[in-house]
Amino acid sequence: MTNEVTVVTPVLCLGVGGIKTEAFEAALEYEPDVIAVDAGSLDFGPYYLATGSTFAPRRQVKEDLSLLISASDRLDIPLIIGTAGGSGARDHVQSTLEIINEIAIENDFSTKTTIIQSEIESSTLEQVRTERDNISPIGHDQPLQAENVEHANRLVMQMGVNPFINALEEEPDVILAGRSCDNAAIGAYAVAQGLPMGLALHMGTILECADFAAKPKPDTIQSLGSDMNATSPMIATISSDGFNIEPADNRLQCTEQSIAAHTLYERGHPTWSLEPGGALDTSDCIFEAVDTETVRVTGSQFVHTDEHSVKVEGAGVVGQRAITMLGFRDPRLISQLDTVLNRVRNTMLEKFSSQTDRLSIDYSVFGRDAVMGDLEPNTQIANHELGVLVEIIADTKTIATDVGNTLEMRLFHGRHTDDVPQSGAVAIPFSPNTFHTGPATEFTVYHAVPVETPDEFASTSKVVLPREGLK
Amino acid sequence: MTKIKDVAQTIRSKNSSPYEITIDIIFDDVTIYKMVKQSKMPLPEKVTEHYGSGKEYIKDVFYYDEAHAIKIAIQRPITAGDSGDTDVYGAQQYAPILNMEVE
């Protein structure tokens, strides 16, 4: 057990934006006990989880990891990576494992890596679904049904601190974890050292965004220029009654308000958020400036619940997507837009629905209400020009593309009004006119599942890299 | 009449989950924050006015004094990434708030 732990988080997300090397070296001078970084998010949408694809450029992930692994080796401290590969299912973790393997080979050193998987088999979740009460939807009201599980191509548990704490007992060089709570991947080391969970998770919540929670000092905004946000490290030192937090880049500063404001970033409620096993309550927090760059936070509490629940996320492929874009410039057609678009859509639905189980055609009218949809308060079209994005989802690539091509020809050649030309009613900006964008995906599972132990859905393995034939 | 965009330091929106958008209005100046918090027309009503027929999606308004911040919870009309979604991150849903008037 220890009095104090220093954590460095180098970047907002592994592989996104790059790490500022000078600031990172400055961060290492704080003699951190651990380097911890989040490597993914649901923010990017369901596609990456559903298909096993990665978002961040591989080259950037490798560059970032080379820097981090070399630092962790030099300082003899662990490197912890949460939500590896962007979504944290097995394929995503594997993609990062291969990169670490390459780095080990190319730099001629070995690394003891503990892998914590959190992907759940459909059959396992289905069994849990039928056996356990109190599975509850999060943020929506659809109960978890068999079809939700069946339609997910990948399912993951969002792990909390426990699997990391267990892994740390063996003192690995690297912990490569699947889907995790950002704050758990970053706060777990401190909890493993006996420091309070509430403080550790709150620290993790702020640290995981790296320098995002800091702001430019008044006289340095010019020198920062167009430097991308959140690519220089943040450092926190946590003890039993609070944590101090500051940015590594000396052009930035944490203020009481910037840290308080970041506590509520991307959270539904300003002071209460559900976590595995309970909730983080920041309502009694005090934020106090220690100096011009550093803020001390005290008062963060973890509230345990009797039943330990974890969030399970699932996404699946629902069809194949094709898109086209239509340019409208004739005001006589613009004034009839909805009538014309709806008529053509209905014709397409009638014509093609016998060929495909799934068929949806969505229009987004840019220049009117595409960005906000039903939330848009302003429904008057004032523009001389509109862009309509047409999104088609059907069972196959061929059908989706056929619908797109037929729809735009119908619009192009239709007798829409007495005066609009019967050929050339819309502008089509590219060739091919319609293109297949790959699988269309949706989130199908987003539920809190009670578990028997915090590690129930986690599985841990150890490997010494480099290893031949890792692929 | 002053508009909130002229007195708030940051106005931003993001998903807090695939099903919900969270809007933050953060004030530099605690006096202005307090004034907005205590103004004659309750904030939830003002917000729903600005979203027009979309107001049924406005779920909650919270105040967080430590950050001089107001948070608004909105149900996403379309789940993130579903067909017809045009703002996967929920990043541009704060715009109507910009012109909200404060005394």
pLDDT tens digits for range A218-228: 888 777 776 77
Bridge-based pairing of strands A386-394 and A111-117 is: unpaired
Classify B84 as helix, strand or coil. coil
pLDDT of residue A301 exceeding 90:
yes
Q: Which of B20, B50, B81 sits opposite A377 (nearest CB)?
A: B50
- The encoded tokens of residue B36 equal 């907005």
- Which segment of A206-210, A355-359, A364-368, A409-413 scores lowest on mean pLDDT? A409-413
CB contact under 8 A, A364 and B83: no
- Higher-pLDDT residue of B36, A296: A296
CB contact under 8 A, B18 and A371: no
pLDDT for A471 equals 61
What backbone torsions phi and psi does residue A450 show, to the nearest 5 degrees?
A: -70, 140
Q: pLDDT for A51-106, tens place per residue?
A: 999 999 999 999 999 999 999 999 999 999 999 999 999 999 999 999 999 999 99
- Which segment of A52-56, A143-147, A392-396, A414-418 scores lowest on mean pLDDT? A414-418
The mean pLDDT of A305-312, rounded to a whole number, is: 93
pLDDT for A242 equals 98
A344-369 burial by CB neighbour count: b if 16+ within 10 A, else e? bbeebeeebeeebebbbbbbbbbbbb
CB contact under 8 A, B67 and A264: yes
The mean pLDDT of A339-362, rounded to a whole number, is: 97
Q: pLDDT for A106-122, tens place per residue?
A: 999 899 999 999 999 99
d(CA A175, CA A159): 13
A436 has which bridge partners?
A322
pLDDT of residue A258 exceeding 60:
yes
In one-letter notation, the amino acid at residue B82 is: D
pLDDT of residue A1 exceeding 70:
no
In one-letter notation, the amino acid at residue B1 is: M
- The encoded tokens of residue A74 equal 């030099």
Q: Give the closest-approach CA distance of A350 to chain B in angstroms.
A: 19
pLDDT for A422 equals 82
Q: For the packed helices A337-352 and A397-413, what is the interaxial angle rounded to 10 degrees? A: 140
Classify A185 as helix, strand or coil. helix
- Which residue's entry shows tokens 């619940």? A305
Q: pLDDT for A28-51, tens place per residue?
A: 999 999 999 999 999 999 999 999
Burial of A137 (0-12, 13-18, 19+ CB in 10 A): middle
pLDDT for B85 equals 96
- Higher-pLDDT residue of A210, B102: A210
Chain B residues whose CB is inside 8 A of the A315 CB are 81
Q: Rounded mean pLDDT of chain A? A: 95
pLDDT confidence band for A2 (50 / 70 / 90): low
CB contact under 8 A, A362 and B17: no
d(CA A24, CA A165): 25
Chain B residues whose CB is inside 8 A of the A139 CB are 16-20
Q: pLDDT for B41-100, tens place per residue?
A: 667 788 888 887 778 899 999 999 989 999 999 999 999 999 999 999 999 999 999 988
Pick the residue from chain B with its C-alpha nearest to A366. B86
pLDDT for B43 equals 75
DSSP conformation letters of chain B: -EEHHHH-SEEEEEEEETTEEEEEEE-S-HHHHHHHHT-SS-HHHHHHHHTGGGGGGEEEEEEEGGGTEEEEEEE-SS-TTSTT-S-TT-TT--GGGGG-EE-
